[in-house]
Amino acid sequence: MDFLGLSGEDAQRAALAGIFDDPTFRASQDFANENTLKAFAGAGMLNSGGTLKALRDRGAKDASAFVGDRQNRLFGLAGFGQNALGNLTAIDSNIANLRAGIGDARAQGIIGGANAATGFTNNLLELGGKIAASFAGAPGG
């Protein structure tokens, strides 16, 4: 995050200096400078102000592109982090839904058991009533 300046200017300067010491950046600069010098030397303008301006402009353009590339890479990593966080959130949500489903199943089991016990009691009372009714209506009773 130093690169983005979130830790202050000094940290950002140090991070940028580290980028410009990157071997890939150095090789790119060396290649560009060599070709620029060859082109101006071929035109007989090797030590002209135009040569220095071309080298400076090319260096600034390459540096800007390199820094932009690094920023895009950092933002890409941030995107991976956001995706990972989104996936973790989805997993947590799924776990919560599973736990809620387990709770619902338990509650339905308890309710089902209570309903079965109530049904059994009602059936038993109905049977008892029929038996009592049969004795009440029996001859000699």
What mean pLDDT value characterizes the chain? 79
pLDDT digits (tens, 9 = 90+) for 80-106: 667 777 777 777 777 877 888 787 888
pLDDT digits (tens, 9 = 90+) for 66-81: 877 877 777 776 666 6
pLDDT at residue 126 above 80?
A: yes
Return the pLDDT at 60.
80
> Which sequence spans correspond to the domains of the chain?
2-136
Distance in angstroms (rounded) separating the CA atoms of residues 19 and 5: 14
84 and 77 Cβ atoms separated by less than 8 Å: no
